[in-house]
């Protein structure tokens, strides 16, 4: 049940399973993730159809915008009860390039993926209105990942990626390379990383993959190229405040604890440092192949505090443990190694990561969301 009290978006006040099915016009619909800006808009990413095989997005806007937008948007429907505009994937009024890419895939794919495509592309991740990632197999072997982006410019990302790749050339660390871009689609294509992601390796036990990952992150911080993005104290505080706002809206039982962490962040003034960092470390973003390490999803690369990447890795490990993906003993041993490698700003960064992970659950409100957020706060506060 989604129950957000917002006078500007009254349709969010009581959205249960039946309401989601009505909005999507299907017999089955469930929430994948929500984004919310108080009084302005909300978007619900929905899984639809048998076993969630389909997907779509429900948009809520202030005033009568959803009705007007639905009237002039092809393939969009309007739900009179909730005031939501609904679009079944690949329709997306903010990211029409997704539908165009799929429609013209046979003609556009060769230039983007560097060869003849083998079959249809597979959706890896979709963020309504923001981005969509496809895995595209080539007839000659191998695969390329094509990302269509609304929140970044591929024409800027490509040269930045190449500068990083050149700086890392010849060493044990690399980044997934850019294969091509398509400005008309706002698309960028990356080569496939070799090896296996960190979460898969850790599921087998042992901390060696984490030690190798820590070495890779330290190497990355020595890069000479200067990223365009900046992960400053101000940016981290603003993002943390947004996380608390979402917790307040969807999991209010955790608001007091989240607000205390935010207050502690605002009061703290550690020496953060400023080095190239990945800035969006997830276990699935680090691939290991023997002694080689490859970082993927590097659009987030920023100048920021080195301890932020370590705090993210620490938090993601405990998240994986909570989801039953990695054994507790492995996570305990791995996080001890992270603490030994951390600098003086680690605790401060860990508070920011705790709020970021709380946001993950606040975007997926359910009966267990509060207990999951409480567990995150307990684990990370004890670091």
Pairing of strands 292-295, 173-175: parallel
Token pair for residue 134?
Answer: 């496809």
Tokens describing residue 193: 């990383």
User: What pLDDT was estimated at residue 347?
Assistant: 97
Q: Which CATH number applies to 97-191?
A: 3.30.200
Q: Which residue ranges make up each domain of the chain?
A: 10-88, 97-191, 196-381
Alpha carbons 223 and 72: distance in angstroms, whole number: 48
CA distance 368 to 139: 44
pTM > 0.75: yes
Q: For the segment 317-369, what is each residue's pLDDT rounded down to a tens digit?
A: 999 999 999 999 999 999 999 999 999 999 999 999 999 999 999 999 999 99
Q: In what order do the strands lie in the sheet with 292-295?
A: 173-175, 292-295, 286-289, 196-197
* pLDDT value for 57: 99
Backbone phi, psi, residue 156, to 5°:
-95, -35
Give, rounded to a whole angstrom, the gap between the first and last alpha carbons of the chain: 33
CA–CA dist 45, 75 (Å, integer): 17
Amino acid 51: pLDDT: 81
Q: What kind of architecture, by CATH, is found in domain 196-381?
A: Alpha-Beta Complex (3.90)
Spell 211-237 as b/e; 16+ CB within 10 A means b.
Answer: ebbbebbeebbebeeebebebebeebe
Mean pLDDT by 10 residues, the chain (383 residues): 94 96 96 97 96 94 96 95 98 98 96 96 98 97 97 93 95 97 97 97 96 98 88 97 98 98 96 95 98 96 97 98 97 97 97 98 96 96 58
Residue 383's pLDDT is 45
């Amino acid at each position: 049940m989604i129950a957000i009290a917002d006078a500007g978006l009254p349709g969010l006040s009581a959205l249960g399973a039946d309401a989601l099915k009505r909005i999507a016009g299907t017999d089955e619909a469930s929430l994948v993730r929500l984004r919310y800006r108080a009084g302005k808009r909300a978007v619900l990413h929905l899984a639809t159809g048998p076993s969630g095989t389909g997907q779509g997005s429900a948009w809520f806007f202030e005033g009568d915008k959803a009705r007007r937008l639905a009237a002039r948007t092809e393939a969009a429907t309007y739900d009179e009860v909730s005031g939501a505009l609904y679009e079944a994937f690949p329709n997306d009024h903010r990211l029409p390039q997704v539908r165009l890419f799929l429609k013209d895939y046979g003609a556009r794919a060769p230039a983007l993926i560097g060869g003849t495509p083998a079959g249809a592309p597979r959706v890896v991740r979709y963020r309504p209105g923001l981005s969509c990632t496809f895995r595209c197999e080539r007839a000659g072997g191998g695969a390329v990942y094509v990302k269509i982006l609304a929140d970044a410019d591929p024409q800027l990302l490509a040269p930045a990626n190449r500068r990083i790749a050149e700086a890392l050339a010849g060493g044990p660390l690399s980044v997934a390379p850019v294969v091509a871009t398509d400005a008309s689609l706002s698309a960028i294509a990356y080569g496939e990383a070799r090896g296996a992601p960190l979460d898969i390796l850790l599921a087998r036990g042992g901390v060696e993959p984490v030690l190798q990952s820590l070495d890779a992150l330290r190497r990355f911080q020595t890069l000479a190229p200067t990223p365009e993005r900046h992960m400053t104290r101000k940016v981290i505080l603003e993002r943390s405040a947004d996380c608390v706002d979402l917790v307040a809206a969807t999991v209010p039982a955790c608001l007091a604890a989240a607000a205390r962490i935010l207050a502690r962040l605002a009061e703290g003034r550690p020496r953060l440092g400023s080095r190239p960092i990945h800035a969006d470390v997830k276990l699935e973003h680090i691939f290991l192949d023997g002694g080689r390490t490859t970082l993927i999803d590097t659009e987030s690369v920023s100048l920021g505090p080195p301890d932020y990447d370590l705090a993210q890795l620490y938090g993601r490990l405990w998240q994986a443990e909570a989801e039953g993906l990695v054994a507790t003993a492995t996570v305990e041993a791995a996080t001890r190694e992270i603490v030994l490698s951390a600098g003086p700003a680690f605790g401060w960064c860990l508070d920011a990561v705790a709020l970021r992970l709380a946001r993950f659950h606040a975007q997926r409100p359910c009966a267990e969301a509060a207990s999951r957020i409480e567990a995150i706060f307990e684990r990370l506060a004890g670091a």
